[in-house]
Structure 1
Amino acid sequence: MDTGNSSNFFHNAIKSGFPNATNIRTPEGCSPKKPIFVADTRKRGPIICKFVDSRIAMRDKNISERLVKKGFPVPKININGYIAQWYEVYDYNPNRTLAQHLKNHIGDDRIFETYKQALDIQARLAECSLDDIYSYSSIGKYFSDVYKITAPVARPKILTNIYSAIIKILSRWHNVHLVHCDLKPANIICKDDGSLDQIIDVTGIALASEEFAMISILESFPLPDLSEDLMDYYDGITHRKLDRNFVRTGLKLVKQKQSLQSTVRKHIQNLGTKTK
């Protein structure tokens, strides 16, 4: 029996829940290394099947159901299981992501307007009542815990611990709200005109500070010269003031992760060489 993380295993898992599934493939623009697939089904049409840890699958399902009821533009998630693997299932959105639109060189004005739409949704998330937040199953687990669960096995443990510690400090330094901590272009689906249609990757929605969420947005923001304008817009719609110094400092720290990653890996390699 195939129980590994091979494509055959994932395909068998999808067919266990959807026997008539055909044309199982990697979504356009998605890394083939990620266990995310599109499958054509007879009754539902195309669906997304995203393989995740069972704890994440349960919280994502609970969060998506409540947010869809409140009118948030997120996919409604169901979950299926196969042997020791769980996967989220939701309807495939054929529209392109903002990341794909950026490759077509859409105008800066359109990009900024799309991010303003995303921040409108972020502000609504942050206003969810405490009762709503605490009804979200294991939503009380911070984004750092999600990072630990989803960290690739090949990533050195010491590196995972460093990253998760940084994330925990950044995410909990200020008052926490329900926010999307991974609003990058690949997680924003747009209509043909570039306006926002849907936000995906419900896993990124967690209790964290708004400053931490803004750091995660600005890390991949394609218009860095307009970062202050973007924060001004968020301050205006929330009637709160982001701690700009904290955001700038945190952004510099996060921006250094590639250098940190390289340094740690070299150190680990050197340790391995010395022990031989």
Structure 2
Amino acid sequence: MASFQQSTLATHIPNELLVAHITQIHASISKLQSLKPSKQVNALFTQLVKLCTLPSILDIADLPEEVQVMRESLIKLCGKAEGLLELEFAIFLAQIPLPLNNLNLFPYYGNYVKLATLEYKILRDNGVVQPKKVAFVGSGPMPLTSFVLATHHMKSTCFDNFDIDESANNVARQIVSSDVELEKRMKFKTRDIMEAKEELVEYDCIFLAALVGMTKEEKIKIIGHIRKYMKAGGALLARSAKGARAFLYPVVEEYDLLGFEVLSIFHPTDDVINSVILARKPIF
């Protein structure tokens, strides 16, 4: 372990060392009987996130096939664990008074606030100011981005949250029902986004969560579907990942946004995980 600690003192952690440690954590996570929040689960994922946010010059495209396979497995495990963590906290919040005043109890709430604030700034800087109607695809049981945007940045915007899991939407509805004003502006739709067609033209901006489309093929298919049905001039904000962060989330490249005009690409260097790509469907 000494070599790992010494290496972190350098500007970048060597790629081989980084991949070796991530592979080790993947092996430990794979052996877990459950991915529900627990001391062991939380410790492993905390360690993984810290590793993936260290300064590195890792390029996912350069990794050998066996590491690519491990990465795909790890992304799926991370997605399951994230969903279970959100569900546990959402159920807890739904049972207490004023749940929207206690969102900060969620361990990664600060990251969501940073990311949502950043996304709002990117939208505003590119002319998407106070959109009338927004869709968030892959909202889950605790749609923190929608909550933060609706209560702090887009105070008159209507939000439609799409998720394929009705039980997740039900918990989210319970949390929102505690705020009469927000409940008027925030709806939850249980639907696979690939089945949503003409209704997508209603939205000025569509957010695509990082875990919607776990493989490159799925992601490209979903992006193409959204582009086909969304309004001309509408904005698509897709979450991605770069470098070692791509062991946690799928990557969206600029060339995956065929038929879009890419307006902005942002890659974080702090504790925020997701990259942000803003694109616009051309008017002509």
- TM-score, normalised via structure 1 length: 0.31
